[in-house]
A = this chain, B = another copy of it.
Amino acid sequence: MRRDVFQAIADPTRRAIVLLMAVQAMTPNQLAQHFSISRQAVSKHLRILTECRLLQPEPRGREIYYVLEAGKLDEIGQWLEQCRKSWESRFNQLDQVLITLQANQRDTSTLL
């Protein structure tokens, strides 16, 4: 199933999972020991993180290691940059106006 990465990291438990996985890949059982919820609840979170390609399962015998797909984090970074860029160009536009005004200040009287 396709899923939204922003919706995936909305839950604080899932963000903690991503952080842990960034340090070291783990199995669901190992992971569940870090939380106070049931193993199945952790598995649900892993499923969601896997569906949006933030994690990738790597079976090792009867165990399954979930590995972080760090490249998927860029999707979040791109949105962030888009916001920041728009926000700053908004100021740049204002700066342009001010610079133009300042440059023409000596002519302002004649222009108005």
Q: Give A residues with C-beta under 8 Å from B.
A: 4, 6-7, 9-12, 15, 18-19, 22-24, 68, 70, 73, 76-77, 79-80, 82-84, 86-87, 90
Contact = CB atoms under 8 A, between A and B. Distances in A.
6 contacts: A6-B10, A7-B11, A18-B83, A19-B82, A22-B83, A76-B76
Contacts of A82: 19, 22
Given A6-B10, A6-B15, A80 B83 contact: no
A12 B23 contact: no
Contacts of A68: 83, 87
B90 A22 contact: yes
A-B pairs with the 5 shortest C-beta distances?
A10-B10, A22-B86, A22-B87, A7-B10, A70-B87
A47 B20 CA distance: 32
